[in-house]
A and B are shown apart, each in its own frame.
Chain A
Amino acid sequence: MLNYYDPSQHRPDPNQDLGTPARLSEKQIALTIDGLEISVPEGTSVMRAAALAGITIPKLCATDNLEAFGSCRLCAVQIEGRRGYPASCTTPVSEGMDVTTQNGKLAKLRRNIMELYISDHPLDCLTCPANGDCELQDMAGAVGLREVRYGFEGANHLDAPTDDSNPYFSFDASKCIVCSRCVRACEEVQGTFALTIDGRGFDSKVAAGQDEDFMDSECVSCGACVQACPTSTLMEKSVIDQGVPEHSVVTTCAYCGVGCSFKAEMKGDQLVRMVPYKGGDANHGHSCVKGRFAFGYATHKDRIKTPMIRDSINEPWREVSWEEAIQFSARRLKEIQAKYGRESIGGITSSRCTNEETYLVQKLIRAAFGNNNTDTCARVCHSPTGFGLKTTLGESAGTQTFDSVMKADTILVIGANPTDAHPVFGSQMRRRLRQGATLIVADPRRIDLLKTPHGGHMLHLPLRPGTNVALINSLAHVVVSEGLEDQAFIEARCESGAYQAWRDFILEERNSPEALEAVTGVAAEKVREAARAYAEVHNGAIYYGLGVTEHSQGSTMVMGIANLAMATGNIGREGVGVNPLRGQNNVQGSCDMGSFPHELPGYQHVADPAVRDRFEAVWKVKIDDEPGLRIPNMFDSAIAGTFKALYVQGEDIAQSDPNTQHVQAALTSLDCLIVQDIFLNETAKYAHVLLPGSTFLEKNGTFTNAERRINRVRKVMPPVAGKEDWEVTQDLANALGYPMNYSHPSEIMDEIALLTPTFTGVNYAKLEQQGSIQWPCNDSHPDGTPTMHEVDFPIGKGHFAVTEYVPTEERTTRRFPLLLTTGRILSQYNVGAQTRRTANSQWHDEDVLEIHPSDAELRGIRDGDWLGVSSRVGHTVLRCRISDRMQPGVVYTTFHHPGSGANVITTDSSDWATNCPEYKVTAVQVEKVSQPSRWQQNFQDFDRRQKDYLENASADEPAPMGK
């Protein structure tokens, strides 16, 4: 007998559609299908059981990422002892059941059903975009449909219009069979509920929003409906244009920290479409508008295809060979070190590049530059997570898998906006909220998660920007003072001295919600309600984002969160935990790989001689025992004249870092700036060497997502300039006289595994076999570690840290009476270099300033007005959007477009422990204006000039062809 129990839903072939979702009951039910005995978990449908037994039952409205619906009736079967022809998708198995899936009666029934479907369906199969990839076509073949007796003359939908409004897919209503798969995907998978079936009976049709165009509806273009559609009704425009792909490669998305797995579906070396991969452990076959559709930047005309150099940023670029660009860079770096000293140069690793590439850049800096002046863009997003979690829990990483949220009873989201910034995980959260979990959101803005359709109990704590620590302290005060602590956990798992000190501190009356109400702006009773909702349930899970870290007390807040989780025993099992939602695809990985100036890979401090010994033995070079400069310190030192050269891989500090004018001054002070990127980004406009980067489609490697999951990135097309990014770093090291001889990223990973105790068991062969690995992966956890801290902490006992609330110095004054906070939106990604070069800009073509109606009225401002926004460091102009998502006194914007100058206003204020910039709090004034700011005018001039320098780049010699 075949036995099927699959606790992991995707272990059956992820490319096969088993018709209905897996059931995880441990009780096995035995039945017979077409004479074959099989045993499956209780609750499994007859359809799925048959598919597992290798028997295919025809189907149209069923697919295994949606609950069974039973509308098409094509999957009818006969069951011994039961009347009629039950639908196998909606019929659960029962003990001893005897099922027949094929006989004359069933064949006739199915043919008749298909005949009815086809009588109202165009017969243009040969010219249909779904030709060769159409379930309706397949089923017509499977049931042996040979004629349609009804003719095509009667009432039909063959002239129904096509909705082409979405830039990525079209909706051709004439091809629709009203199976509801799209509607159900929008509800069950995505959770947006944008689609519905309008009308009844023969008039039934799929409608977006209030019967609007897709673009005008609340559709978020995640693509779940397109994927679910069994016909060509919902179809990618790229497939309509190019035809059905011929091969596919599984790889990992290079957008946010969710790290979705996709099948890159190809024709030769052309990418036709990205389809979310059901076997992906982070996304289970779901996607968002960025990963699913916004890949056109990879072949955009703006791609840098040739290495370029110049002596000054006030002259045009010169196109040169790789060899010359690398030699030029090495020469300049050596000259500068000879003149200004070993510590006068440094580099920045990328959170967008692979682990292997990041590892190599920091190795280049430590081994070939001979100093520790390495940092990464995580400095400006999650460095407080590293510091805070390492101090309290002993490891700089989130504690859970994404799937863990499905066991959470209360979900506490602090300073994060998952439906926009981590959309696929946002959808999973919403799934759990629809099952009844309680949601608490601590955020100055009313984020969309609070509007989850059919969600359970929801509580919003709209705190004032900059008062996170006051809020977390008051939540903890309620937990302790109302006796909601998990004493058993604390006694067994936490350091008692530190705990007592923390407990005494948190119990002080000044930490009560009543005392802090005036500070946070959140009613004490609401804080008490939230604390109880988190602490009184079995499983409370905390998710947080940059609204926690990007503050002057970012590190303190991270520790406050860890304190709260430990005090309530919400650590060390599924459904609980402390989870930083990482912004970029490989923020976790870039931190793991030793990008920070004080830590070698695996968070091993450079001052530890034993650690250095191990690295020195493998790297065959002496490693500096002092930490190097962090990004903001590099800028300060550049302006002071002691820091002279910088190598930046895949990071746009000129746009993403705060206080733009300060950053520009620093970059202009450098004697040599080497930028490796796929476009002429803002930073590259200040560069002397521009090395073409490769996209994630053009290289091999790994990314590590927010749940510590190491996923393979696989090359599907050759790099446009001939080299993967790691090869460029390797060439530079060799030119500097430090030999590197890797022939494939897998060899780099082997070296990482050799030197990083949490990666000992990681290698490409295991990644192929397991699909993905969550570190730590070593002798004690050979297959990886989905849930951290189950038995103990890496530091032994958990450490409670006293979290005194120290208000930020950035506060409102009469001159700057409003607080500006910044964030992200769904369709754009970070600095927008990628997404702005796709049709995603149709959703967001400029950054706007959101302001509360009462603040707007006070200033005589109307929607769409140009607003001058000033802080103590700068001034810019943005268009106004009046929004009651904001609280009075708080304004909000994004920095996806460089010309907006959002970071011209943000200041040098930063986290006390890590210098992570305080993007979330800037005191500003807002007023109506009629022209761009002076910075913006200068920006436009500079931008125009630099683009001219690129367009007029001279070629001294033939451009290099490939490697």
Chain B
Amino acid sequence: MSGQGLDQLVKMVNQISANMHGATDEQAADKVATHLQKFWARSMKAQILAYADDGGEDLTPISRKAVEKLREVRAAG
């Protein structure tokens, strides 16, 4: 997926980050990562990870952190 589809995913993850509450950014990013792992389809996760690999310039700081945590969660299996 590219273009509009990807824009939508970036918008979605940033929106989740804006709404997830945590005492620290670290905690908030954990929650966002858990949310993505729990609710997003395999293809969507793959796309957002690839986007982060390419720099992920439109990800907010918490989103960026969350996507990295998602990568760890998925690597851990």
> CB distance B38 to A636 under 8 Å?
no
Q: Which residues of B contact A605 (CB under 8 A)?
A: 38
Docked complex: A722-773 residues within 8 A CB-CB of B: none
> CB distance A637 to B39 under 8 Å?
no
Interface size class of A (residues with CB under 8 A): 20 to 34
Q: How far is the CA of A598 from the CA of B1 in the complex (A)?
A: 21
> CB distance A598 to B4 under 8 Å?
no
> Which one of B5, B19, B23 contacts A913 once the chains associate, using CB atoms below 8 Å?
B19
Q: Which residues of B contact A372 (CB under 8 A)?
A: 41
Q: Which residues of A contact B2 (CB under 8 A)?
A: 640
> CB distance A629 to B8 under 8 Å?
no
Closest chain B residue to A641, Cβ basis: B1
> CB distance B43 to A627 under 8 Å?
no
Q: How far is the CA of A562 from the CA of B23 in the complex (A)?
A: 21
> CB distance A629 to B41 under 8 Å?
yes
The answer to the question of A642 belonging to the interface, with a C-beta cut-off of 8 Å to chain B, is yes
B49 to chain A, nearest CB (A): 13
> CB distance A629 to B16 under 8 Å?
no
Q: Which residues of B contact A802 (CB under 8 A)?
A: 21
Q: Which residues of B contact A343 (CB under 8 A)?
A: 41-43
> CB distance B21 to A640 under 8 Å?
no
Closest chain B residue to A803, Cβ basis: B21
Closest chain B residue to A605, Cβ basis: B38
The answer to the question of A536 belonging to the interface, with a C-beta cut-off of 8 Å to chain B, is no
Q: How far is the CA of A629 from the CA of B1 in the complex (A)?
A: 13
Interface size class of B (residues with CB under 8 A): 20 to 34
> Which one of B4, B12, B19, B43 contacts A556 once the chains associate, using CB atoms below 8 Å?
B19
Q: Scoring A residues 897 to 921 as 1 if CB is less than 8 Å from chain B, else 0, what string do you get?
A: 0000000000010001111000000
When A629-B43, A642-B43 are in contact, do A636 and B1 touch as well, CB less than 8 Å? Answer: yes
Q: Which residues of B contact A804 (CB under 8 A)?
A: 19, 21
Q: Which residues of A contact B4 (CB under 8 A)?
A: 636, 639-640
Closest chain B residue to A915, Cβ basis: B12
When A636-B5, A912-B16 are in contact, do A629 and B44 touch as well, CB less than 8 Å? Answer: yes
Q: Which residues of B contact A915 (CB under 8 A)?
A: 12
> CB distance B40 to A806 under 8 Å?
no
The answer to the question of B18 belonging to the interface, with a C-beta cut-off of 8 Å to chain A, is yes
A813 to chain B, nearest CB (A): 18
Q: How far is the CA of A639 from the CA of B6 in the complex (A)?
A: 11
Q: How far is the CA of A605 from the CA of B34 in the complex (A)?
A: 13
Q: Scoring B residues 35 to 69 as 1 if CB is less than 8 Å from chain A, else 0, what string do you get?
A: 10111111111000000000000000000000000
B3 to chain A, nearest CB (A): 7
> CB distance A806 to B1 under 8 Å?
no
> CB distance B43 to A636 under 8 Å?
no
When A640-B2, A640-B5 are in contact, do A373 and B41 touch as well, CB less than 8 Å? Answer: yes
Closest chain A residue to B1, Cβ basis: A640
The answer to the question of A628 belonging to the interface, with a C-beta cut-off of 8 Å to chain B, is yes
Q: Which residues of A contact B44 (CB under 8 A)?
A: 629, 633
B42 to chain A, nearest CB (A): 4
Docked complex: A591-641 residues within 8 A CB-CB of B: 597-598, 605, 607, 626-630, 632-633, 636-637, 639-640
B35 to chain A, nearest CB (A): 7
Docked complex: B14-39 residues within 8 A CB-CB of A: 15-16, 18-19, 21, 23, 35, 37-39
Q: Which residues of A contact B18 (CB under 8 A)?
A: 806, 912
> CB distance B38 to A912 under 8 Å?
no
Instruction: Label chain A's interface by main secondary structure.
Output: loop
> CB distance A552 to B21 under 8 Å?
no
> CB distance A598 to B43 under 8 Å?
no
When A642-B1, A913-B35 are in contact, do A627 and B19 touch as well, CB less than 8 Å? Answer: no
> CB distance A640 to B15 under 8 Å?
no
Closest chain A residue to B42, Cβ basis: A626
A169 to chain B, nearest CB (A): 49
Q: Which residues of B contact A373 (CB under 8 A)?
A: 41
> CB distance B38 to A607 under 8 Å?
yes
Q: How far is the CA of A912 from the CA of B8 in the complex (A)?
A: 12
Q: Which residues of A contact B23 (CB under 8 A)?
A: 501
The answer to the question of A553 belonging to the interface, with a C-beta cut-off of 8 Å to chain B, is yes
> CB distance A908 to B8 under 8 Å?
yes
> CB distance B39 to A598 under 8 Å?
yes
> CB distance A552 to B15 under 8 Å?
yes
> CB distance A627 to B40 under 8 Å?
yes
> Which one of A556, A627, A630 contacts B38 once the chains associate, using CB atoms below 8 Å?
A627
B50 to chain A, nearest CB (A): 13
Q: Which residues of B contact A636 (CB under 8 A)?
A: 1, 4-5, 8
Q: Which residues of B contact A801 (CB under 8 A)?
A: 21
Q: How far is the CA of A637 from the CA of B43 in the complex (A)?
A: 9
Q: How far is the CA of A205 from the CA of B15 in the complex (A)?
A: 62
A803 to chain B, nearest CB (A): 8
> Which one of B3, B19, B39 contacts A640 once the chains associate, using CB atoms below 8 Å?
B3
> Which one of A501, A552, A627 contacts B41 once the chains associate, using CB atoms below 8 Å?
A627
Q: How far is the CA of A626 from the CA of B32 in the complex (A)?
A: 17
Q: How far is the CA of A534 from the CA of B19 in the complex (A)?
A: 27
Q: Which residues of A contact B45 (CB under 8 A)?
A: 626
> CB distance B5 to A639 under 8 Å?
yes
Q: Which residues of A contact B5 (CB under 8 A)?
A: 636-637, 639-640
B60 to chain A, nearest CB (A): 12
Q: Scoring A residues 629 to 663 as 1 if CB is less than 8 Å from chain B, else 0, what string do you get?
A: 11011001101101000000000000000000000
A963 to chain B, nearest CB (A): 37
Q: Which residues of B contact A640 (CB under 8 A)?
A: 1-5
Q: Which residues of A contact B15 (CB under 8 A)?
A: 552, 912
Q: Which residues of A contact B42 (CB under 8 A)?
A: 343, 626-627
B8 to chain A, nearest CB (A): 5
B24 to chain A, nearest CB (A): 13
Q: How far is the CA of A636 from the CA of B41 in the complex (A)?
A: 13
Q: Which residues of A contact B37 (CB under 8 A)?
A: 607
Closest chain B residue to A801, Cβ basis: B21
Q: Scoring A residues 549 to 582 as 1 if CB is less than 8 Å from chain B, else 0, what string do you get?
A: 0001101100000000000000000000000000
B11 to chain A, nearest CB (A): 9
Q: Scoring A residues 794 to 834 as 1 if CB is less than 8 Å from chain B, else 0, what string do you get?
A: 00000001101010000000000000000000000000000
Closest chain A residue to B40, Cβ basis: A627
Interface centre among B8, B12, B18, B43 (most CB of A within 10 A): B43
Q: How far is the CA of A189 from the CA of B38 in the complex (A)?
A: 46
A267 to chain B, nearest CB (A): 51
Closest chain A residue to B41, Cβ basis: A629
Closest chain B residue to A636, Cβ basis: B5
Closest chain B residue to A624, Cβ basis: B42
Q: How far is the CA of A340 from the CA of B39 in the complex (A)?
A: 23
A549 to chain B, nearest CB (A): 15
A115 to chain B, nearest CB (A): 74
Interface centre among A553, A556, A627, A802 (most CB of B within 10 A): A627
Q: Which residues of A contact B21 (CB under 8 A)?
A: 505, 801-802, 804
> CB distance B12 to A628 under 8 Å?
no
Closest chain B residue to A634, Cβ basis: B41
Q: Which residues of B contact A914 (CB under 8 A)?
A: 39
Q: How far is the CA of A501 from the CA of B37 in the complex (A)?
A: 25
Q: Which residues of A contact B8 (CB under 8 A)?
A: 632, 636, 908
A446 to chain B, nearest CB (A): 30
Docked complex: A118-176 residues within 8 A CB-CB of B: none
Q: How far is the CA of A555 from the CA of B39 in the complex (A)?
A: 14
Closest chain B residue to A804, Cβ basis: B21
Q: How far is the CA of A626 from the CA of B34 in the complex (A)?
A: 13
Q: Which residues of A contact B1 (CB under 8 A)?
A: 636-637, 640, 642
Chain A residues engaging chain B, CB cutoff 8 angstroms: 343, 372-373, 501, 505, 552-553, 555-556, 597-598, 605, 607, 626-630, 632-633, 636-637, 639-640, 642, 801-802, 804, 806, 908, 912-915
16 contacts between A and B (CB under 8 A): A343-B42, A372-B41, A373-B41, A505-B21, A555-B19, A598-B38, A626-B41, A626-B45, A627-B41, A628-B41, A632-B8, A637-B1, A637-B43, A642-B1, A912-B15, A913-B19
Q: A-B pairs with the 6 shortest C-beta distances?
A: A640-B1, A802-B21, A640-B5, A636-B5, A626-B42, A912-B15
Extra 7 A-B pairs, beta carbons < 8 Å, given A598-B39, A630-B41, A636-B1: A343-B43, A372-B41, A597-B41, A626-B42, A640-B5, A806-B19, A913-B39
